[in-house]
Structure 1
Amino acid sequence: MSAGLLVLRVALGATFLLHGVQNLFGAWTGWDTAKMAGYLGSKGVGASQTFSWITAITEVIAGVLLLVGLLTSVGAAIVVVTMAASSYIKLSAGGGFFMPTGFEWELAVLAGGLGLLLAGAGRFAVDSKLSGRALGRARTISIVLAVLAFVAIVPFLS
């Protein structure tokens, strides 16, 4: 089980870290916060410049946390909120399920984040050195904050 959680953490962590770096600095394809803000604005997202910066920074944070396996529930909660918001935007825009305009990729990544949020990091993580009680509290707080964060941003997404 821990080996599977490690693979999931590393894959999601690397994806989020690299995507966040790309969005912050325009690395690789030139997609940066300005282009991201333009995309979000075209989908009707309010405060798109602010959301592009928040998204890029939290993607980097989530990526690092997941790669290291430190506060995995926090990193996983960020993944869940980000992908739930992205799915919501695509559904609101009438994108359907299948790519390129659909939300199938977002749903798969959201499921991976939710799996880590519920299952934890496994023994190949810094979290494994923390007390079970502390991890349980962190997981509960992360779930509650993820739900609250999503509810708080939905009005900006429509």
Structure 2
Amino acid sequence: MATIPSNRPVLTAPVADQSALDLGLLVIRLVVGVTMAAHGTQKLFGWFDGGGISGTGGFFESSGYPQGETMAWIAGLSETLGGIGLIAGLFTPLAAAAILGVMINAIAVKGTGEFFAPKGIEYDLVLACTAAGLALTGPGRVAFDHYLPGLRYHRLAYGIAAIALAAVTAAVVLVIRG
């Protein structure tokens, strides 16, 4: 066993090179982060053929959410800021929680009973599970979190708390939806 500066023992895993893990996590963070930030800007600004706040707000209202434009702001900011957080590896558990919460709602709204696109939930499920996985694993060493004293060494508790936060927040929004 090795120790980290906080004198907490950690198990070392000779299974994979740490640099390979860091690069793999970086690739995942970049792809999901850019994807989600782009989706958020569709909602907020109408970029990339998005609906903007009014169009997205109309979609939310037609999906049963009250105050559609408010929900569009919440979803757009969650996706944009969560995506940017993943790209940078900054406050990664919270960034992942923002994305996970939105994806839980997306899956609930589709609720078609179908799995495959375009009507199914496969895409949303992949993004939700990837966000949950990143919350649990942390961003790797190629991330701003690696240079922040409290986040340098990712703790499983951060990931579990982030997933719980996403689940509770998503549940509250779904209850508001009715």
TM-score by length of 2: 0.79
Q: Name which of 124, 129, 139 aligns with 2:147.
A: 129
Q: Looking at both structures, which has the greater relative contact order when contacts are Cα pairs under 8 Å and sequence separation is at least 6? A: 1
Residue 114 of structure 1 aligns with an amino acid whose one-letter code is A
Q: Does 1:75 align with 2:92?
A: no
Aligned residue among 20, 24, 32 for 2:40: 20
1:148 positional shift: 1.7
Give the aligned residue type for 2:79.
Answer: E
Matching of residue 43 in structure 1 with residue 41 in structure 2: no
Inter-partner Cα distance in structure 2 for 1:33 and 1:122: 34
Residues 149/127 of structure 1: CA separation in 2 closer, same or farther (3 Å cut): same
- 1:82 shift after superposition: 0.6
Q: Quote the Cα distance in structure 2 between the aligned partners of 1:48 and 1:24.
A: 13
Aligned match of 2:125 in 95, 107, 123? 107
Q: Give the letter aligned to residue 70 of structure 1.
A: L
Structure 1 unaligned segments of length 5 or more: list them.
Answer: none
Distance 1:112 1:97 in 2: 17
* Unmatched tracts of structure 2, length 5 or more: 1-20
**Residues 81, 146 of structure 1: 8 Å contact kept:** yes
Kindly provide the amino acid, as one letter, of the partner of residue 106 in structure 1. D
Residues 11 and 100 of structure 1: is their aligned pair in 2 closer, same or farther, counting only changes over 3 Å?
Answer: same
Q: Pick the structure with more helix per residue.
A: 1
In structure 1, distance between residues paired with 2:63 and 2:44: 20
TM-score, normalization by structure 1 = 0.88
Residue type matched to 2:58 in 1?
Answer: G
**Runs of 4+ with >3 A deviation:** 130-135, 137-141
Say whether the 8 Å CA contact 2:145–2:151 is kept in structure 1: no
Q: Structure 1 CA distance, aligned partners of 2:152 and 2:163?
A: 15
- Partner of 1:28, secondary structure, is coil
Q: Which moved more, 1:121-130 or 1:37-46?
A: 37-46
Contact 1:62–1:76 at 8 Å: present in 2 too? yes
Match of 1:98 in 2: 116
Partner amino acid, structure 1, of 2:140:
G
Which residue of 142, 149, 158 maps to 2:162? 142
Letter in 2 for 1:20: G
Q: Which secondary structure does the structure 1 equivalent of 2:115 belong to?
A: coil
The CA deviation string for residues 42-76 of structure 1, in whole angstroms up to 9 with x for no partner, is 22222322111111112111111111101010110
Kindly state the Cα deviation for residue 147 of structure 1 after the two structures are TM-superposed: 2.2
